[in-house]
């Protein structure tokens, strides 16, 4: 409570004017000492914030917010990845206020992508300052939308991020809000970092929600996780926020999309950066639950009589690192559609041909295209010669050549370019959750694209191989039923005679068509379309 209007700053009776002497009681003096050493105590007891539902209320710190403040206080370089609307910005502002009030002769810079956002941070600091009793305020010399200068010679300035935003200033604490969304962030950071770190005790606080890989925020956060820099990382998950449970997540996804939820609330680095597929397309992609799932196979659509299918295969060593994968695509529909997937990082290449046969065969003897690099060559030959699956792609249409496709720069370049066109022009529908997730971290590296560090791209490579294939003359042959019949009639006869003694294909009039594969599993053939 103020003693007179003269104590306030320019008529604001809630902000003490610099130069006003404070007479401390013993209780106030002890409280001042306690607040100066404990930012959590200060914020909990003396800071107020504006709630959307309740208006001005005491800042009741949540558990993770207390941990965040401790993190700021204990570490010099801080990088925070947080779910949207988790209170990271207001918590940071509260810490900045404490730092300014109880640390004399320091300069704090609050920077954001836009100056108006940075100035909003100053406004939040002022709101909290107005709730602080006078005996804890050092007094104010200057207070406007862009900066505050206190009687203890500490000050805070707000500006947009640019290479010249803090030029000429000696910064003791730099706060960068939503840094993943800052344009030319790398240029800004390169020019700013030496200025901030010139002092031995200067601090940096960087906060943001995720916004793709390849940007400066992502690089700083990943370097912190890998302990390759001085930065200490802090993570705020969506479920840390009270009131957010699985039902809330389900409803939020229903109102947006799974991909959008993962980016804004799930702390997933996707959507922008240097991904092959643009952010709008990625955010619009929706996965679905498989119609049937067992033994690492997901079936989304059952085989349809008369439809043509393509199965693309990527082979790993089966040692628990990379995955052996395949995807089956329906090429008789527009847009082309992913109808089945397989993914396993423990299966031996020696066993994979039987798995491919089991699931490619019911899809009307899907044309199997195998990347024959390394272990892939063995799988391709075993599938063709040992399992006697005849519908295997041979590059050059000559069995004297290696079966499958040898992935090289040209094929990958064409495949990536075509995949981008197919997805962004809605000519290919991907519905497998893992495939979509991998696309989010399939990024530009050097002269090509690959999985970002710590991620996989095995499912994506299925799509790249498929996309390359549809640009070839072989694809025209596949979709020309007359040509396909001519090319594969004898092969299909061999398969029916030798590989399917346990099942029948076709049905009597009035009966439902079924098929029993070589392992005894019954398939129902959709003849409705």
CA–CA distances in Å: residue 319 to residues 8, 28, 377: 71, 66, 18
How would CATH label the architecture of 286-524? Answer: 2-Layer Sandwich (3.30)
**CA triplet 204, 209, 215: central angle to 5 degrees?**
75
Can you tell me the distance from the alpha carbon of 275 to that of 340, in angstroms, rounded to the nearest whole number? 24
More confident residue, 199 or 334: 334
Q: Residue 163 — pLDDT band, cuts 50, 70, 90?
A: low
Residues of the chain with CATH 3.40.50.300: 5-240
Q: Mind listing the pLDDT tens digit for each residue in 260-311?
A: 888 889 988 765 557 899 877 887 888 899 999 998 999 999 999 999 999 9
pLDDT at 413 over 50: yes
**CATH for 5-240, options being 2.60.40.650, 3.20.20.10, 1.25.40.10, 3.40.50.300:** 3.40.50.300
Can you tell me the distance from the alpha carbon of 314 to that of 319, in angstroms, rounded to the nearest whole number? 15
Q: What is the mean pLDDT of residues 365-389?
A: 94
Tokens of residue 15, six digits: 């902000």
Can you tell me the distance from the alpha carbon of 406 to that of 421, in angstroms, rounded to the nearest whole number? 23
Q: Strands 55-58 and 48-51, how do they pair?
A: antiparallel
Query: What's the pLDDT at 160?
Result: 84
Can you tell me the distance from the alpha carbon of 241 to that of 77, in angstroms, rounded to the nearest whole number? 24
Residue 295 CB burial class (10 angstroms; 0-12, 13-18, ≥19): exposed
pLDDT at 511 over 60: no
Q: Buried b / exposed e across 140-178, counting CB within 10 Å, b at 16+?
A: bbebeeebbbbbbebbbbbbbbbeebbeeeebbbbbbbb
Tokens of residue 41, six digits: 């105590």
Residues of the chain with CATH 3.30.420.240: 286-524
Contact at 8 Å (CB) between 525 and 514? Answer: yes
Percentage of residues of the chain with pLDDT beyond 70: 86
Strand partners, 445: 448
Query: What's the pLDDT at 510?
Result: 43
Contact at 8 Å (CB) between 305 and 311? Answer: no
Query: What's the pLDDT at 134?
Result: 95
Can you tell me the distance from the alpha carbon of 405 to that of 156, in angstroms, rounded to the nearest whole number? 61
Q: Strands 8-9 and 12-16, how do they pair?
A: antiparallel
Can you tell me the distance from the alpha carbon of 204 to that of 189, in angstroms, rounded to the nearest whole number? 11
Contact at 8 Å (CB) between 451 and 274? Answer: no
| Residue 178 designated active-site | yes
Highest mean pLDDT among 68-77, 392-401, 517-526: 68-77
Write down the pTM of the prediction.
0.61
Catalytic residue among 31, 149, 178, 390: 178
**Helical residues (DSSP H) of 103-157, grouped into ranges:** 115-129
Q: Residue 396 — pLDDT band, cuts 50, 70, 90?
A: low
Can you tell me the distance from the alpha carbon of 170 to that of 137, in angstroms, rounded to the nearest whole number? 23
Q: Mind listing the pLDDT tens digit for each residue in 425-437?
A: 999 999 999 998 8
Can you tell me the distance from the alpha carbon of 285 to that of 303, in angstroms, rounded to the nearest whole number? 23
More confident residue, 164 or 182: 182
Q: Mind listing the pLDDT tens digit for each residue in 186-211?
A: 778 888 877 777 778 899 999 999 88
pLDDT at 490 over 70: no
pLDDT at 455 over 50: yes
The mean pLDDT of the chain is: 86
Following DSSP, what letter does each residue of 150-199 receive, concatenated?
ETTS-EEEEEE--TTTTTT---SEEEEESGGG-TTHHHHHHHHHHHHTTS
Q: Mind listing the pLDDT tens digit for each residue in 5-56?
A: 578 898 899 999 999 988 899 999 999 999 999 999 999 999 999 988 889 9
């Amino acid at each position: 409570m103020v003693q007179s209007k003269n104590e306030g700053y320019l008529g604001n009776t809630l902000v003490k004017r610099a130069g006003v002497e404070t007479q401390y009681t013993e209780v106030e003096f002890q409280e001042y000492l306690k607040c100066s050493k404990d930012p959590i105590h200060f914020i909990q007891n003396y800071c107020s914030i504006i709630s959307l539902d309740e208006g001005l209320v005491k800042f009741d710190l949540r558990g993770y917010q207390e941990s965040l403040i401790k993190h700021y206080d204990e570490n010099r370089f801080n990088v925070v990845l947080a779910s949207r609307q988790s209170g990271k910005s207001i918590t940071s502002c509260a810490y900045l206020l404490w730092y300014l009030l109880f640390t004399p002769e320091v300069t704090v810079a609050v920077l954001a992508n836009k100056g108006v956002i940075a100035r909003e941070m100053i406004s939040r600091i002022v709101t909290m300052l107005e709730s602080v009793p006078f005996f804890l305020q050092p007094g104010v010399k200057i207070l406007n939308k862009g900066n505050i200068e206190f009687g203890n010679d500490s000050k805070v300035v707000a500006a947009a991020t640019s290479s010249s935003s803090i030029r000429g200033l000696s910064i003791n604490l730099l706060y960068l809000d939503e840094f993943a969304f800052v344009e030319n962030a790398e240029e800004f950071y390169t020019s700013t970092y030496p200025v901030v770190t010139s002092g031995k005790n200067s601090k940096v606080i960087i906060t943001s929600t995720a916004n793709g890989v390849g940007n400066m925020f992502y690089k700083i956060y990943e370097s912190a996780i890998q302990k390759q820099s001085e930065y200490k990382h802090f993570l705020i998950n969506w479920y840390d926020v009270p009131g957010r449970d699985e039902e809330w997540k389900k409803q939020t996804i229903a109102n947006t999309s799974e991909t959008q939820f993962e980016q804004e609330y799930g702390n997933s680095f996707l959507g922008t950066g240097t991904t092959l597929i643009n952010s709008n397309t990625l955010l619009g992609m929706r996965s679905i639950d498989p119609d049937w799932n067992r033994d690492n196979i997901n079936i989304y659509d059952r085989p349809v009589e008369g439809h043509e299918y393509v199965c693309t295969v990527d082979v790993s060593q089966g040692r628990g690192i990379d995955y052996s994968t395949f995807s089956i695509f329906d090429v008789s529909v527009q847009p082309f559609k992913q109808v089945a997937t397989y993914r396993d990082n423990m299966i031996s290449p020696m066993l994979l041909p039987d798995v491919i046969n089991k699931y490619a065969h019911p899809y009307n003897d899907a044309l199997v295209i195998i990347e024959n690099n390394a272990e892939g060559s063995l799988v391709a030959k075993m599938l063709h010669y040992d399992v006697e699956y005849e519908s295997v792609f041979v590059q050059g249409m000559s069995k004297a050549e290696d079966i499958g496709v040898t992935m090289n720069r040209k094929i990958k370049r064409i495949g990536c370019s075509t995949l981008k066109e197919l997805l962004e022009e809605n000519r290919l529908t991907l519905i497998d959750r893992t495939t979509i997730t991998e696309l989010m971290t399939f990024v530009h590296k050097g002269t090509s694209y690959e999985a970002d560090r710590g991620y996989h791209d095995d499912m994506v490579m299925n799509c790249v191989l498929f996309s390359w294939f549809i640009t070839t003359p072989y694809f025209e042959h596949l979709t020309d039923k007359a040509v396909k019949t001519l090319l594969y009639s004898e092969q299909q006869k061999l398969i029916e005679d030798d590989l399917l003694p346990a099942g029948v294909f076709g049905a009597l009039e009035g009966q439902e068509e079924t098929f029993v594969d070589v392992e005894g599993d019954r398939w129902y053939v959709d003849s409705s379309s």
